[in-house]
Amino acid sequence: MLTVRRVACSTKWSRLASASASGDKYKVVVVGAGPAGLSVANQVYNRFKSAGKPLNSGDVAIIDSAEFHHYQRLTSTRTLVGAGLKQKTEFRRPLASLIPKHLTHVNENVKSFSPETSSVTTASGRSLTYETLVVATGLQINWNGIQGLPQALSDSTSGISSIYSYDTCDKVWADIESLRSGNAVFTQPAGVVKCAGAPQKIMWMAWDRFRKTGRRENIKIDFYTGMPTMFSVKKYSDALNALRVERNVGGHFQHNLVAIDPANHKATFSKSDGSKIDVDYTMLHVTPPMGPLDFLKGSPIADSAGWVTVDQGTLQHTKPEYANIFALGDCSSLPTSKTAAAITAQAPVLTENLFSLMDTGKISNARYDGYTSCPLLTGYGELMLAEFKYGLELKETFSSFVDQSKSRRLFYHLKKDIFPASYWNFMVRGQWFGTRGIFRPRF
């Protein structure tokens, strides 16, 4: 059994002695069983084992009450469903089936954090204490952030859909297939978006479907985005904007969808100058606003916006008194795009620093450079592979061979076929390390 060396954080570890004796005690508690939580829980367990200091079965607990685990948690893979390429059932599996027996599954949700006593409390009132905490809860989609949206999504005849809901992602395909003429409007909000390229991916797939089936000339396509450009990284933004112009797709920047009037088929957008405009639509694909989970807002481990505040390199909490807390993925304050690719780069760094902290009392030299990837579908059989790091600097895997701002069939099959297989067979098992594949980086 691992013996934790209490070097740099002895005060913190001593708080465990004062924690409620009736609570469950674990060496590592992971909150959230999405791609980030499952990846890091398995990597932590494997890291101690590879160091010859194996944890006992049950030393690592994962807290999550979800019945199903969704591939990449509501992200752009649903574009494949909305584009008619996959069935949505292919992208979810029972959560319990993905948690190995040596990890404890606490089938509840966390209600509150008590970092001063190194404990969390679940919705039922159960208290769990930890030596180290990893927060990987993801973000939430604010469906009510757009007036009239929830009701419109539930109406099969509204012409309104979204790939960001498991319940409606297949409705996107139905709406694309049934549209014969009129206005197809696609939206993206300003601010944080899960996989920021997804809102236009489904637009490009719809454009290509309309073209292939001879309907394009009768359908006007417009992209309304709260962002000032097509993409945050200039190289890809320029390429996407050129594609937009070439394909005669309207671009309306710094326009945020705020309300929908399904009865009159009107969408209301707020502009950067504070004014509002109404836009007629026949089909409307909505990307709703997103943000931190409600239970994180106001918690002692979160910043004023509600994100778990961590060092952007080490992924350790920024408050010295909370040195035994880490976070990764969508719930964190890391200034990078919120994608599964980012998690594959973050998890090994977090794992190494957590292992080092528990083993020596100090974190290691492992640092996350902000790497993320956004596979941008631009049509059937083509994809632009955007890869970058902090500062929106390029960090491309294939740049020595090809221009990654050009859409390619090889990249398309990476997303459609290779990435899903890698996800289920390796990533959620803690055996996938981003661009390094199955080879764990040495720090």
- Catalytically annotated residue among 9, 169, 195, 331: 195
| Residue 9 is among the residues annotated as catalytic for this protein | no
> Residue 373: how many CB atoms within 10 A of its CB?
27
Strand locations in 319-362 (E): 325-327
Please check whether residue 228 is in contact with residue 253, taking contact to mean a CB–CB distance below 8 angstroms.
yes
| Residue 331 is among the residues annotated as catalytic for this protein | no
Residue for token pair 């199903």: 68
Query: What are 140's strand-pairing partners?
Result: 291
- Catalytically annotated residue among 9, 169, 331, 374: 374
Cα within 13 Å of Cα(171), Cβ side: 21
List Cα–Cα distances, 195 to 254, 290, 352, 398, in angstroms: 18, 11, 26, 21
**One-letter amino acid of 319:** K
**DSSP letters spanning 172-223:** HHHHHHH--SEEEEEEE-SS--BSTTHHHHHHHHHHHHHHHTT-GGGEEEEE
84 burial class (0-12, 13-18, 19+ CB within 10 angstroms)?
middle
- The residues, any chain, with a CB within 8 Å of residue 204's CB and separated by 6 or more, are 243, 376, 377, 378, 379
The 8-class DSSP code of residue 302 comes to: B
Which residues are annotated as catalytic? Answer: 195, 374
